[in-house]
Structure 1
Amino acid sequence: MKKTFVFCALALAGLLVAPVAPALAKKAPPVASLDTDNDGTVDVNEANKSAEALFTKLDKDNDGTIEPKELQGRLSKKEFKAADPDNDGTLSKDEYLAVVGKLFKEADGDNEGTLDDKEFASKQGKALLRVVR
């Protein structure tokens, strides 16, 4: 009887925790998830590294460009148009990284070249997070 109770309790705990675990994983502080050199901040190189990985993941057809559909809402139509200077309806990796650089500068409120969690919490920081993770 005790073994059955323990098993049921563990099974129930698993059902309660399982849906919460992915939500908790996504709420990791931005700096912790992007700070590859563990200095407590994110610089533009770290942001670009993460953005490059995301670009590769989003490029489902492996053609080296991303179409608006592949971006999955990370950029508005207006933002996409501004990021597509050759007006070909896609973003190359260089065009995508140019967006990252622009958003990084906008999020860097103190102009020190790095971002902390407070800067990521700003409107500009949240916009940057949409394109780097």
Structure 2
Amino acid sequence: MSLRVSSAFAALALAASVTVAPTAFAKPTSGASAVKMIDTDNDSTVDMKEIEAVASATFDRLEKDADGTLDAKELKGRLSKAGVRQADPDNDGTLDKKEYLAAVAERFKAADPDNDGTLDAKELNSKAGKALLALIK
């Protein structure tokens, strides 16, 4: 196999892994790079469906003890204690996936001041956008 073909397969495999399983952010991300990582339909914005896919994968990655919830230790500071209380309507001190995704949706809405249902790089660079990215990184 030539180096060119081998490189093409490696690039294809990398592209497939990004499309099939949204990648998690290794470090704080700018709005523009976040859009590139999350925007599966390549429209230069991210919608709730795209954010929810990444958030769901993030929840699954963080949920280490297989109890179906995230506790403060598993959340690793993504939400403050007050944020956990706000996102935890059953007051059990943990967030199940539904509660976690509701918190993500709330942050998405806060980062979408024009209420168009999408976030661009500028909106993701806002304080509310950065709060959203912190939750799904």
Tell me the TM-score normalized by structure 1: 0.78
Task: Give unmatched runs, 5+ long, in structure 2.
Answer: 1-25
Q: Where in structure 1 do 4 or more consecutive aligned residues deviate above 4 Å?
A: 22-28
Larger RCO (CA within 8 A; separation ≥ 6): 2
- TM-superposition CA deviations, 1:70-103 (whole Å, max 9, x none): 0000001110100001001110000000001100
Aligned-partner Cα distance in 1 for 2:75–2:92: 15
User: Is the CA contact 2:71–2:93 (under 8 Å) kept in the aligned structure 1?
Assistant: yes
- Higher-Rg member (1/2): 1
Judged with a 3 Å threshold, the aligned counterparts in structure 2 of structure 1 residues 89 and 107 are, in CA distance, closer, same or farther, namely same
1:21-100 equivalences in 2 (<5 Å): 29-100=33-104
Judged with a 3 Å threshold, the aligned counterparts in structure 2 of structure 1 residues 51 and 24 are, in CA distance, closer, same or farther, namely closer
If each structure's helix is expressed as a fraction of its own residues, which one has the higher value? 1
Task: Give unmatched runs, 5+ long, in structure 1.
Answer: 1-21
Q: Give the root-mean-square deviation of aligned CA atoms.
A: 2.0
Q: Percent identity?
A: 55
Judged with a 3 Å threshold, the aligned counterparts in structure 2 of structure 1 residues 31 and 100 are, in CA distance, closer, same or farther, namely same
1:123 aligns with 2:131: no
User: How far off its partner does 1:63 sit?
Assistant: 1.3
- TM-superposition CA deviations, 1:15-42 (whole Å, max 9, x none): xxxxxxx779889711011111111100
Greater Cα shift, 114-123 or 31-40: 31-40
Query: May I ask how many residue pairs the two structures share in their alignment?
Result: 112
User: Is the CA contact 2:32–2:121 (under 8 Å) kept in the aligned structure 1?
Assistant: no
